[in-house]
Structure 1
Amino acid sequence: MKIQESAENYLETILILQQRNGQVRSIDIVNEMNFKKSSISVAMKHFRENGYICMDEDGYITLTESGLAIAEHIYERHRTLTKYFMALGVSEKNAKKDACKIEHDISEESFNKIREHLSKLQQ
């Protein structure tokens, strides 16, 4: 299922925050992404309605199976592209920034070839 880039970024951020902090609330997403609380609230409502997240009575957010699949897919692309650019000599800062831009648009074929090439470089 293809969703908008902004939705992919939100889900990826939730995954990263869960890995870093264990638990995630909307305010954590606000602080991480530097967005307004109202924007995050609208997005989280949309994600709940579409089955990408669950939110408990204390406001803690958990990715559902479908939300997790999207988040993991995008985050793998981000990590792989960052490593690849750094292997080419790009600074870490620029590699992360560029990976974030490309991770949403690159074809599966091109991404798989980059992953294969990176694997050969790391041997």
Structure 2
Amino acid sequence: MSMLHESGEDYLEAILMLQIKRGSVRSVDIAALLGVTKASVSKAMANLEARGYVEMVKRDVRLTEAGREVAERMLERHEFFRGLLIAAGVDPEVATEEGCHMEHCLSDDSFHKLQAYLSR
């Protein structure tokens, strides 16, 4: 599997969040959550499917094992940074947006070290 761009990671995270909330995921649900067009979602899903991260089954979008691994990692990071920012006094809406950016910029090693350090 090749490396994903930030947007690809965001799509996978959105799919996971929708699966947790609703069970099944359609492209229109992803578009609504991310605030993008259905055409953008269609293009992204074709790319992610070609790379082995999602499967399109009729109208449902499903994460593959590889896609779920990336999505869970991104969601964990997002929730960590969002919580950290809120604990520091940042407005929850701002923390959600900024946590989304922060989740992408650290290596796995740095993230886990920071997480361990702050958990002491």
Larger Rg: 1
Shift of 1:48: 1.4
Q: Which residue of 2 aligns with 1:119?
A: 119
Shift of 1:22: 0.7
1:72 matches 2:72: yes
Distance 2:85 2:110 in 1: 14
Q: Where do residues 61-100 of structure 1 align in structure 2 (5 Å cutoff)? A: 61-100=61-100
Task: State whether residues 13 and 29 of structure 1, in contact with CA within 8 Å, keep that contact through their aligned partners in structure 2.
Answer: yes
Tell me the SS of whatever aligns to 1:105.
coil
Q: Which residue of 1 aligns with 2:27?
A: 26
Between 1:10-19 and 1:91-100, the stretch displaced more is 91-100
TM-score by length of 1: 0.88
Unaligned runs of 5+ in 1: none
Task: State whether residues 25 and 60 of structure 1, in contact with CA within 8 Å, keep that contact through their aligned partners in structure 2.
Answer: yes
Tell me the SS of whatever aligns to 2:25.
coil
Amino acid aligned to 1:105: C
Between 1:6-15 and 1:110-119, the stretch displaced more is 110-119
Count of matched residue positions in the alignment of Structure 1 and Structure 2: 119
Q: Deviations over 1:18-56 (max 9, x none)?
A: 001111000101111111111111111111111111111
Unaligned runs of 5+ in 2: none
Tell me the SS of whatever aligns to 1:62.
strand
TM-score by length of 2: 0.90
* Coordinate RMSD, CA, aligned: 1.4
Task: Give the fraction of aligned pairs with identical amino acids, expressed as a percent.
Answer: 39
Question: Structure 1 residues 114 and 106 mapped into 2: Cα distance closer, same or farther (>3 Å)?
Answer: same
Shift of 1:70: 0.6
Shift of 1:114: 2.8
